[in-house]
């Protein structure tokens, strides 16, 4: 019966650990990419929220000039 030496086992474990680390890094990037893409595409939604809320409920108790300023800044409009 032939058993591998301690050095051989450690070497194999090190290469396996490196392989696992590479695969983990690769799949981490793949998983993070859609989240980042979503953030890039829809980053303006947070800015639109007060305006959309006002349009949905015209009787809200808000300062209309504040909403007008937000809209004008977002869409380059004259308030």
Residue 59 is classified by DSSP as T
Does one domain contain both 39 and 51?
no
34 and 70 housed in the same domain: no
Domain count of the chain?
2
Residues 6, 39 share a domain: yes
**Confidence band of 2 (pLDDT split at 50, 70, 90):** low
Q: What is the pLDDT of residue 77?
A: 66
Give yes or no for residue 71 having a pLDDT over 60: yes
Reported pTM: 0.41
Question: How many C-beta atoms lie closer than 10 Å to residue 42's C-beta?
Answer: 10
Instruction: Quote the crossing angle between the two packed helices 45-56 and 64-75, to the nearest 10°.
Output: 140
* Contact (CB, 8 A) for 54 and 67: yes
Q: What is the pLDDT of residue 34?
A: 92
pLDDT value of position 59: 83
> Is the domain of 52 the same as that of 71?
yes
Domain range enclosing 79: 45-79
- Using one digit for the tens of pLDDT, what is the confidence trace for 15-59? 878 888 888 899 899 899 998 999 888 887 877 887 788 788 878
Shared domain check, 63 and 32: no
What's the start-to-end Cα distance of the chain, in Å?
Answer: 87
36 and 66 in a single domain? The answer is no
């Amino acid at each position: 019966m032939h058993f591998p030496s301690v050095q051989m086992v450690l070497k194999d474990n090190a290469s396996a650990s490196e392989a696992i680390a590479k695969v983990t890094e690769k799949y981490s990037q793949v998983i993070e990419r859609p989240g980042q893409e979503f953030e890039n595409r829809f980053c303006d939604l947070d800015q639109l929220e007060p305006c959309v809320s006002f349009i949905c409920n015209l009787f809200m108790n808000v300062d209309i000039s504040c909403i007008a300023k937000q809209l004008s800044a977002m869409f380059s409009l004259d308030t």
